[in-house]
Structure 1
Amino acid sequence: MSQKEFSGTNLVEKAPVATPAFKLGDVVEVDFSEEPSRRIIQGIFSLKNNWLYAVEWRSPILEEMALAQSRIIWLADVDLVKVNV
């Protein structure tokens, strides 16, 4: 389209984006079983104004069961508790 054919409508608004609750490398507790597990935040992703955090759901010290299966799970901040180390 040429500049003359393009007309703005001003319908686009800035959406506020909250600050992530955790940052890369933070140690968190995840309640996967009877005993909470400590994990490290390995990724952060924003989806529709919500932050998701990547953590390993299986312990890295366990032997690999299947090489094709990912050990990463994405969780919301309500599923995680920050650990002060």
Structure 2
Amino acid sequence: MTQLINTLENCWYLSPPWGKQMPPLTINLLERVYVTTSNSFGYCCGVEWLQDDWNYAVALDNEVVYTSVNQLIGTGKLQPAIDKPVFALGKKVVFRCNRDISKLRIVQGIHQIEDFWTYTVEWVSPELCECDGKLITSGDRRAWVTDTDLARV
């Protein structure tokens, strides 16, 4: 039994939350978008897998708003002169800062903060519990890290 728990612990981070294939993004990183709720234009400065769907971060003037794709209209035009992220969504990486357990992770989010790209990876495995016959996870297990915290597999 202990071996099964260790195997689950080591493999959890390689099991993407979206299943076997990553769903496509509707809005691309750095794409100019129209935010229908605020009637304004901005650009997509981040995306993260949350609650079984992609959640988009949009830079509007001096603030960043987080929204679903239902409130965005893409223009297909990309922001010029901004460096692209080092790692891509869904790619396997080595998380250098975690010494206790498997270091392999999947990039589940990318955000541009100031002039730097940050990446969302799972920090710890979930606590599993059962509710109404369904297995659910609890707690926020994600961390935002920089490309210096990650290495290519």
Q: TM-score range by the shorter chain?
A: 0.5 to 0.7
Larger Rg over CA atoms: 1
Question: Unaligned regions of 5+ residues in structure 2, if any?
Answer: 1-78, 130-136
1:78 corresponds to: 148
TM-score (norm 1): 0.66
Please say if 1:39 is aligned against 2:109.
no
Residue correspondences, number: 67
Give deviations 1:9-44, integer Å, cap 9, x for gaps. Answer: xxxxx9842110001001000121156510000000
Name stretches of at least 5 consecutive residues in structure 1 with no aligned partner.
1-13
**Structure with the larger strand share:** 2
TM-score, reference length from structure 2: 0.38
**Which aligned runs of 4 or more in structure 1 are off by greater than 2 angstroms?**
63-67
Please give the alpha-carbon distance, in whole angstroms, between the structure 2 residues aligned to 1:25 and 1:75.
15
Counting only pairs closer than 5 Å after superposition, residues 1-85 of structure 1 correspond to structure 2 as 16-31=81-96, 32-33=98-99, 37-59=103-125, 63-64=127-128, 67=138, 69-83=139-153
Structure having greater relative contact order (Cα 8 Å, sep ≥ 6): 1
CA RMSD in angstroms, aligned pairs only: 2.5
Higher helix share: 2
